[in-house]
């Protein structure tokens, strides 16, 4: 649906060349809610501007629905842009126009008959929960309501793709969740593919099925959200995951644990989906001459799956502990030995 093939983008500035994107490869499939996360300056907005054809790649190719964006003649590009709705961090509403007129704008520009515009705008306002605000002006709305108007406007041309650049970054946590719920509904009910750019891991955790982590213009890690959250490889990814998934023992507890590991090991176990850790622990307690103590447990709901993390102390002789570990490994459960 959206494909970036070895895409680089270099800007010339007074201070020299800025390599905003470096050899980026990315495939976003129909129906995905694909998240791109990275710190400020990582190249996220540049990536979105290449997807909607506002910028051309310096090298590489960008395809949207099989069309190469950099190569389209202007008339085709205009048509393609109707397939792509944009949602912005600062909403980008016209303050002198009513909510109704803001949502109607893309349809007016498209010279759609007035009655059709009226029907469509009212349906969209109802869809985003703002049917009673049609005559209000943007400065009479809360941030969350403004973003709902932004989303309704982005949906006006009936796009098949929604690009969201930090759509929730100007909102408080509760409002963020309500906007994410709306985006989830749009993806699910209207079957719209969503590419969402963010620096908040919470956004990825709540609605994305796939994620790419960007650093300094390059994609450094990519995959299904559950895999990246369950087993992050790069330091930046680990730092992002830590912001939403707790997997460490409280400091006070760490201090109280014995340093001597000759009779026990401390393991961090991670399971994805149904395989309950409780069953695993009772299994190894029964089968091997060991005792287990749970020190910490957390369960995180991701969009399509559950990630459970348990930190457990296993007491027993080294041989019995190794046998228990081999059993855990044979179940395909991720584990790490923790040193205190």
Interface with Mg ion by CB under 5 A: which residues?
45
CB of 39 to Mg ion, least distance (A): 10
Q: Is 20 helix (H, G, I), strand (E, B) or coil?
A: strand
d(CA 158, CA 153): 10
Between 183 and 267, CB nearer to Mg ion: 183
For ligand ATP, the binding residue among 35, 38, 159, 316 (CB under 6 A) is: 38
Show the DSSP H helices in 156-207 as ranges.
173-189, 201-207
CB of 47 to ligand ATP, least distance (A): 7
Which of 339, 278, 338 lies closest to 308, judged by CA?
278
CB of 38 to ligand ATP, least distance (A): 5
Instruction: Mark residue 249 as left, alpha or beta (left: phi above 0; alpha: psi -120 to 50; beta: remaining).
Output: beta
Q: Which residues, including other chains, have CB under 8 Å from residue 152's CB and lie 6 or more apart?
A: 103, 121, 124, 125, 127, 128, 130
Which of 234, 218, 306 lies closest to 6, judged by CA?
218
Between 8 and 285, CB nearer to ligand ATP: 8
Question: What 8-state DSSP symbol labels residue 294?
Answer: E
Task: Calculate the CA dihedral of residues 46, 30, 225, 166 and round it to 10 degrees.
Answer: 40
For ligand ATP, the binding residue among 2, 4, 7, 20 (CB under 6 A) is: 20
Residue matched to tokens 């969201």: 164
Between 13 and 139, CB nearer to ligand ATP: 13
* Nearest residue to Mg ion, by Cβ distance, number only: 45
Between 41 and 129, CB nearer to ligand ATP: 41
CB of 197 to Mg ion, least distance (A): 7
Residue matched to tokens 């515009």: 117
Q: Which stretch binds ligand ATP (CB under 6 A): 43-51, 171-179, 229-237, 324-332?
A: 43-51
Q: Is 56 in the site for ligand ATP (CB under 6 A)?
A: no
Q: Is 199 in the site for ligand ATP (CB under 6 A)?
A: yes
Q: Is 44 in the site for ligand ATP (CB under 6 A)?
A: yes
Q: Which stretch binds ligand ATP (CB under 6 A): 34-42, 135-143, 252-260, 267-275?
A: 34-42
Tell me how far CA of residue 310 lies from CA of 71, 242, 249, 337, in angstroms: 51, 15, 10, 12
Instruction: Mark residue 85 as left, alpha or beta (left: phi above 0; alpha: psi -120 to 50; beta: remaining).
Output: beta
Q: Is 16 helix (H, G, I), strand (E, B) or coil?
A: strand
CB of 183 to Mg ion, least distance (A): 18
Q: Which stretch binds ligand ATP (CB under 6 A): 33-41, 94-102, 219-227, 234-242?
A: 33-41
CB of 196 to ligand ATP, least distance (A): 13
Between 88 and 288, CB nearer to Mg ion: 88
For ligand ATP, the binding residue among 1, 8, 41, 257 (CB under 6 A) is: 41
CB of 199 to ligand ATP, least distance (A): 5
For ligand ATP, the binding residue among 40, 75, 115, 139 (CB under 6 A) is: 40
Q: Which residues bind ligand ATP (CB under 6 A)?
A: 11, 13, 18, 20, 38, 40-46, 199
């Amino acid at each position: 649906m959206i494909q970036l093939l070895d895409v680089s983008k270099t800007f010339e500035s007074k201070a020299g060349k800025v390599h905003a994107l470096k050899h980026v490869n990315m495939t976003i499939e129909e129906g995905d809610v694909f998240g791109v996360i990275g710190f400020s300056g990582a190249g996220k907005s540049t990536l979105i501007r290449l997807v909607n054809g506002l910028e051309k790649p310096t090298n590489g190719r960008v395809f949207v629905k099989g069309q190469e964006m950099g190569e389209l003649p202007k008339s085709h590009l205009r048509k393609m842009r109707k397939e792509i709705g944009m949602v912005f961090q600062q909403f980008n509403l016209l303050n002198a126009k009513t909510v109704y007129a803001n949502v109607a704008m893309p349809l007016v520009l498209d010279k759609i008959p007035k009655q059709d515009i009226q029907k469509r705008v009212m349906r969209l306002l109802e869809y985003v929960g703002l049917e009673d605000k049609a005559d209000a002006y943007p400065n009479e709305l809360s941030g969350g309501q403004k973003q709902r108007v932004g989303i309704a406007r982005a949906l006006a041309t009936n796009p098949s793709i929604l690009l969201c650049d930090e759509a929730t970054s100007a909102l408080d946590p509760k409002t963020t969740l309500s906007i994410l719920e709306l985006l989830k509904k749009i993806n699910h009910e209207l079957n719209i593919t969503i590419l969402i750019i963010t620096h908040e891991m919470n956004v990825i955790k709540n609605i994305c099925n796939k994620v790419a982590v960007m650093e300094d213009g390059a994609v450094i890690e990519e995959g299904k959200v559950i895999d990246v959250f369950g087993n992050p490889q790069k330091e930046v990814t680990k730092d992002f995951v830590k912001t939403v998934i707790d997997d460490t023992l409280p400091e006070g507890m760490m201090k109280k644990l014995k340093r001597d590991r000759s009779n026990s090991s401390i393991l961090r176990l991670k399971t994805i989906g149904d395989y309950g850790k409780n069953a695993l622990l009772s299994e190894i307690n029964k089968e091997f001459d060991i005792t287990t103590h749970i020190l910490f447990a957390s369960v995180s709901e991701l969009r399509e799956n559950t990630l459970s993390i348990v930190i457990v102390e296993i007491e027993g002789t080294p041989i019995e502990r190794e046998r228990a570990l081999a059993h855990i490994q044979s179940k395909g459960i991720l584990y790490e030995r923790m040193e205190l």
